[in-house]
Structure 1
Amino acid sequence: MSDQTPMRTGGRAARRAARSSKLADHLRPVRPGLKGGQYRPLSQLDMERIHEAALTALAQIGLADAPPSGRAYLTEAGAVLGEDGRLRFPRALVEDTLARANREITLHGRDPAHDLELSGTRVHYGTAGAAVHLVDAEGRNYRECGVQDLHDAARICEQLDNIHFVQRPMVCRDIPDNLEMDLNTIYACCSGTRKHVGVSFTEPGFVKHGLALLHMIAGGEDKWRERPFVSNSNCFVVPPMRFATEACQVMEEVIKGGMPVLLLSAGMAGATAPSTIAGAITQAVAECLAGLVYVNAVKPGHPAVVGTWPFGLDLRSGAMTGGSGEQALLTAGCAQMHKFYDLPGGAAAGIADSKLPDMQAGWEQMCSNVMAGLSGLNMVYEAAGMHASLLGFCHESLILGDDLIGQALRCVRGIEVNDETLALDQMRAVCMGGPGHYLGTEQTLGRMQVDHVYPALGDRTSPKEWQERGKPDLIERARARKEEILGQPSTARLPEEVDRAIRERFNIHLPG
C-alpha cells in the first residue's frame, strides 16, 4: 500500500499542475462558437406568420426617408418608390435577396486566433452599448466616460476568455469633435484588443478617415480588405419603418471600403415598435430585411449581420427595461428568426437595469444571456458591463460578466450522452467491490477541466473558509483583477513605428 502512495500522489500533483496551466482551446469546457438552438420560444408556424407579416409590412407600408443614393440603389434592385416618398419592397425582391445573401461570414480579429465564424447556431458573446457614463463601483457614483475608460475596457476584454468581441461599449465624452471622437474610438479599441471590434461613424465623410487609420493599423489597404477586423455598427433605421438618412450614407461608404456591417434596428416596444413581443419582433425583422436588400443592392453578398435589437419598456413609466424577462424573450425570438432565414444575426442581451453590479444586475444579466445563447444567437451584444439600461458601463461588472458568461456558455454546451458519459463502467467499478464513491477516480479527475466551468472570481468556499480568508468581497476582487490587468502593458498595443505614424497623421488623445 505504501509503495503505491507516491505514485498516486505524483499523479495528483501532475494533474494539479495541468489544471493550473491554460487548457488548449479544443479542450476548454466552453469556447467561442458553441452551438446553441436548444431553446425555441417560437413554433415553426409562429416563425412563418412573423415572416409573412414582415413581408406584408414591407410591401404595403415600406420605409420612408431613404437618401437619394439609397433610392437609386433600391429602385434599381426592384423596390417601388411611392408618391408618398416611401420605398416599398415587393415580396419577390425580398425573397431574391434572401436567396443570394451571405449565409456564412467571418468577423476577423487582428489576431486570427480571435476570428469568429458566424453561421448556424454558433454563439459568441461580447460588448456594445455606447454608454455615456462610467460606473464607479467603489464610490457608487456615475461620471462621464472618456477615451481612457474605453481603452481600459478594450484592454480588459483582451484578457477575458468569454468576451469574444469588443463593440464600443462607451462614448468618448471627453472629445467634443465628432471626427476626432470616431477616430479615437477606433484607436482606443484596436490598441487595446486584438479581438474583433465594432464601431460607428457619425457622418458619411468620416468613413474615409477611419478607413485610412485602419489601413495603417493593418499594414496596407490590401491587408485590411483581406482581413477586415473592424465592423460598422449601423443604425440604418429610425423605427418605426424609416431609414436613417445619414447612417444609410455611412453604410454605403463602409460597404465600398470592405467593412462588414451590423444592420441595427433598435425599436422600443410600446414606443417606436409595437408593444407586443411578436409585433416588436415582426417590425425589427421587416426593417432588417429592408436593410439586407439595401446592402445587397450596393454590393451583392457583402458580409452583414442581421441586427434585430428590439428593446422592452416598462409601460408604467416609459423607461427602458433591458433586464426584463420580456427583453430575454424578444432576443430569443429574434435569434430564432435569424435561423429561420439561415442568416448571421445578432441581438442584445446581458443588459442590467440595476445601477450597480449587485444581485439585481446578476439575475438580469444571466436571464437574457442564457436565453440568447440557448436560442443560438450568433452575436450576443451588450453581454457584459452594461448598467442603467445602457446608460452606464462598469469595468468591474465587465470582469464579473466573464464569469457569468462562462456559466451561460456551459448551459449552451448542454449535455453530452455517449458510452463514456453514461458511465456504466464506472458504476460497476465503484459499486461492485470499489470504494462506493466516485471521488478521485481517473474518470472524475480526467474530466474535471473539460466538463466543468470554474468561476475565476465567484466564491464557492464554505462560510468557515470564507471567514478565515477575510470575507472577500466580489466587487473588491473584480477591482483587484482590473488593476492587475491595467498594471501591465497592453498585449494588443500597436508596433512603435505604426503608432508613431498614426499620431503624426491623426490627433490621438490617449497618451503615448
Structure 2
Amino acid sequence: MAEAVSESGRSRRRGRGGTEARSGVPGQNPHLEVPFITRGIPTYDLASEESLVRIEAGADRILAEIGIEFRDDPETVQLFRAAGGEVTALTGESWNIRFAPGMIREILRTAPARFTQYARNPARSVEIGGDAVVFAPSYGSPFVMDLDRGRRYGTIEDFRNFIKLGQSSPWLHHSGGTICEPTDVPVNKRHLDMVLSHILYSDRAFLGSITAPERAEDSIEMCRILFGADFVAENCVIMGNFNTTSPLVLDGVTTRGIRAYAAAGQGSIHLPFLLGGAVSPLTIAGSVAQCLAESMVSCALTQLVRPGAPAILASFLSSMSLRSGSPTFGTPEPALGSLVMGQLARRLNMPLRCAGNFSTSKLPDAQAMQQSMMSMMSAVQSGANYVLHSAGFLDGLLSMSYEKFMLDTDLCGALHSYLRGVEVSDDTLGFEALAEKGPGAHLFGTAHTLRHYKTAYYDSALDDNQPWETWDEQGGIDAASRANTRWKSTLAAYEPPAIDQAISTALHEFVARKKAATPDAWY
C-alpha cells in the first residue's frame, strides 16, 4: 500500500494530465477543484413533519403487513429471523419476512452517518455522508453512442475511454462502476477487466462487481492486492451498487453480494429501481414509502452481517408515459420524490444516493440537458451525498454518450460553484469597487475586479458566449459538436496515473489466473 500511494502521489500532476487536459483552458476554475464537494448551501426540505411521519408509517406498514420476499439465500433469512423478523416459508427457496414497526430502524442505528472511501491516490479519497457531495459517472448502459459512429454495443475500449474521460475531469470525484457494459468480454469474466481498468486508468475510488457473489469477492480481493489486506480489513476501499427486485423482493444473488461486501467491511449502496405505475405506486408519496421500505431492509442486512459496515440509502424514482408504458426520466414528479428522500435519509442519519443527470433523449440535445437539469438539481437540493449517473446518461440509461458525458461534466463544474453558496464579507460586499471611481464609471479596472476576476464566476469549458456574429463566422458550431471535439482532445491528452509495477503485475496475474480457471460464458 505504501509503495502504491507513494508512486501515485509522485505522479499526480502527470497522471491527471495537467490543467489544460483536465478542463480545456489553462487555469480554468482551479479554485473549484476539490476531491469532493463540501456543501455550502442548505438542503431543501419539501415535506412537512406530518407528511414525513405518514411516509415513515407507510413504509412500516408495508414491512409489517406485506413484508419482503427473499429468494435463494437461507443464510440471510436466518439473520433476519434471529433479529426478530417473522418468517413464512413460500414455495421453493423463497421466504416472506415481515418486520415489526421500528425494527429495521433499530438495526440501522449502527450504520455510519459518514464514512471515507479511500482511493489509491490519498488526495482523491472521498467522504460520503453529512455535508459531503460526490459525483460519479453513469452506470450500466449496454450501448454507447457518439456523433461519429452512432449507437452501438459497448466494448472494453469504450469502458476504458469513459474511465479516462472521468479521470481527466476535475468535476467528477469518483470513477464509478459499470460505466458501460463491455459486451466484447465474456459475461463471467468482464468484471475482472472492469475492476482492473478502474485501477489502472484512474486513481480515484470506484465501485466493484455485484452480478454474482463470487464476482463481488474477486473485486474485493483485487483491492487487497492494491491496498494491502490489512488496510482493506480496516477501511472502505470499494463499494457495490445493489438493486432490489421491486416490488418488495430481494433475490439471493443480491443478498449474497451484499453480505460479501459487508463481511469485508466494504461499502454498499441499496437501490430500489422504481418505475411508477409498473413496480411501485404511480403516486410519488407511495413510491417514496416503498423505496424507503426496500432500501432500509437492504441496508439493514449489512448491519446484521457486520455492525458499522458502510451502507448508503438510495432511491431511483422514475415516472412513465401512461399512454405508451415507456419509462420517462428527468421529469418533475420524481425530482420532488428525491427531495423527500433527502429528508428521510437525514432522519435516519444515513448517507443518501439519488437522482443524477437523467434523460430519455436519444441525442445530446436540448431535451437531454433540460431533463438532466431537472433531475440533477433535485439531487443537489435534496442533500444527496453520492450522485451516480452524473455524466453520460442518455436514452433512458440504455446508452452512454461521449458528447453527453462532456456536457454533463461541464454542468457538474457549475454545480461545484453553486454548492459553495454565497460568501458575505467586507471584501465580497465590494464597497471599494464602487468607491474607487465613483458613480457613472465602469468597474473593469478597479482593484476589486482585478483581484476577483479569475474566481468570481464559473468559466464553462464548453459554452459559447461570443456575440452571434462571431459565432456564425466561426461556423455556428453547436454544443454537441463542441462536446464531440472536446472528448476527442481530452482522450488524446490523457496520461494514466502511475502505479507500482509489482502491484500491477500481481493484479494482471490474478486476472489471468481467474480467467484461465473457467470457460467463457456469454450469458
Q: How does 1:3-22 map to 2 (within 5 A)?
A: 20-21=26-27
- The answer to whether 1:486 aligns with 2:496 is no
Q: Which residue of 1 aligns with 2:273?
A: 266
**Conserved 8 A contact 2:145-2:152:** yes
Secondary structure in 2 matching 1:458: coil
Deviation at 1:28, TM superposition (A): 5.4
Name the CA shift for 1:45/1:430 in 2 (closer, same or farther; >3 Å).
farther
With normalisation by structure 1, the TM-score equals 0.88
Aligned partner of 1:143: which letter?
Answer: R
Secondary structure in 1 matching 2:104: helix
1:265 & 1:35 partners in 2: Cα distance? 29
1:30 & 1:153 partners in 2: Cα distance? 19
**Conserved 8 A contact 2:314-2:353:** yes
- Structure 2 gaps of 5+ residues are 1-24, 516-523
What is the aligned counterpart of 2:190 among 181, 184, 205? 181
Q: Which residue of 1 aligns with 2:87?
A: 81
**Conserved 8 A contact 1:30-1:410:** no
**Greater CA deviation, 52-61 or 357-366?**
52-61
- The answer to whether 1:72 aligns with 2:84 is no
Q: Identity, % of aligned pairs?
A: 24
- Structure 1 gaps of 5+ residues are 1-18
- The answer to whether 1:348 aligns with 2:355 is yes
With normalisation by structure 2, the TM-score equals 0.86
* Alignment length (residue pairs): 485
What is the aligned counterpart of 1:369 among 376, 397, 417? 376
Q: Which residue of 2 aligns with 1:455?
A: 460
Q: Which residue of 2 aligns with 1:12?
A: none
**Conserved 8 A contact 1:370-1:411:** no
Name the CA shift for 1:257/1:482 in 2 (closer, same or farther; >3 Å).
same
2:350 & 2:442 partners in 1: Cα distance? 48
Question: CA RMSD for the aligned pairs?
Answer: 2.5
What is the aligned counterpart of 1:161 among 140, 152, 170? 170
Name the CA shift for 1:373/1:449 in 2 (closer, same or farther; >3 Å).
farther
Deviation at 1:142, TM superposition (A): 0.8
What is the aligned counterpart of 1:275 among 272, 277, 282? 282
- The answer to whether 1:288 aligns with 2:295 is yes
Deviation at 1:509, TM superposition (A): 12
Secondary structure in 1 matching 2:314: strand
**Greater CA deviation, 45-54 or 225-234?**
225-234
Q: Deviation string for 1:278-314 (max 9, x for gaps)?
A: 1111100011111222111111110011112222222
1:94 & 1:64 partners in 2: Cα distance? 15
Q: Which residue of 2 aligns with 1:250?
A: 257
2:196 & 2:427 partners in 1: Cα distance? 49
1:57 & 1:328 partners in 2: Cα distance? 23
2:40 & 2:116 partners in 1: Cα distance? 16
1:211 & 1:28 partners in 2: Cα distance? 29
**Conserved 8 A contact 1:144-1:173:** yes
- The answer to whether 1:100 aligns with 2:105 is no
1:77 & 1:128 partners in 2: Cα distance? 36
1:161 & 1:43 partners in 2: Cα distance? 37
1:111 & 1:54 partners in 2: Cα distance? 40
Aligned partner of 1:61: which letter?
Answer: I
Q: Which residue of 1 aligns with 2:508?
A: 503
**Conserved 8 A contact 2:235-2:265:** no
Secondary structure in 1 matching 2:219: helix
1:393 & 1:420 partners in 2: Cα distance? 44
1:326 & 1:306 partners in 2: Cα distance? 20
1:89 & 1:386 partners in 2: Cα distance? 36
Name the CA shift for 1:30/1:507 in 2 (closer, same or farther; >3 Å).
closer
**Conserved 8 A contact 1:322-1:349:** no
Q: Which residue of 2 aligns with 1:124?
A: 134
2:75 & 2:391 partners in 1: Cα distance? 37
2:34 & 2:251 partners in 1: Cα distance? 42
What is the aligned counterpart of 2:237 among 216, 219, 229? 229
**Conserved 8 A contact 1:73-1:297:** yes
2:498 & 2:405 partners in 1: Cα distance? 21
Deviation at 1:494, TM superposition (A): 3.7
